[in-house]
Amino acid sequence: MRKTFSVALLLAVFTLAISAQAQAADPHPSVRLTWTDADFALNPLMTFNVYRGTGPCGAATMTLLNSSATVTATTYLDTAVKIITTYCYDVTAVLAGIESGTSNTVNPSIPAANPTNLTAVAK
């Protein structure tokens, strides 16, 4: 007897909750994304896709960031960001080649770096 199951149904119940932390560490700003997925520990073959857009979330065109590398952890560091810019991020789970719906969207803003090396001369 052959057992079958629906991967699409399994992916539909995944709950991804994403958060972001922006850092304006001059000259290399970054955004660290972290998310949770209750089923990740049960599915060691699960991977994730990370999408980024600029502009108002919802209207932004999302681009797959990890097209050349598989994300196998629940964290992602985006170092290709610019200061004084707001981004939108979504994450999806992938199992057996089937992609889930998107997570919640986060929209961190990369602040300008704090000035450094301030000096003063008294006259």
For the cut 70, the answer to whether the pLDDT of residue 1 exceeds it is no
For the cut 70, the answer to whether the pLDDT of residue 15 exceeds it is no
At 27-73, the pLDDT tens digits run 678 888 888 877 777 788 889 999 999 877 776 788 999 988 889 88
Which domain, by its residues, includes 29?
A: 7-110
Domain CATH code at residue 35: 2.60.40.10
Is 76 part of any domain? yes
- Look at residues 46, 83, 78, 82 and name the one whose alpha carbon lies nearest to residue 65: 78
Query: CA–CA separation, 68 vs 55, rounded Å?
Result: 24
One-letter amino acid of 47: T
Query: CA–CA separation, 81 vs 33, rounded Å?
Result: 13
Rounded (10°) CA dihedral 101, 14, 63, 46 = -130
CB-CB contact of 98 with 12 (8 Å)? no
Is 14 part of any domain? yes
- pLDDT, residue 56, reads 72
Domain count, the chain: 1
pTM above 0.75, yes or no: no
Is 120 part of any domain? no
- pLDDT, residue 64, reads 93
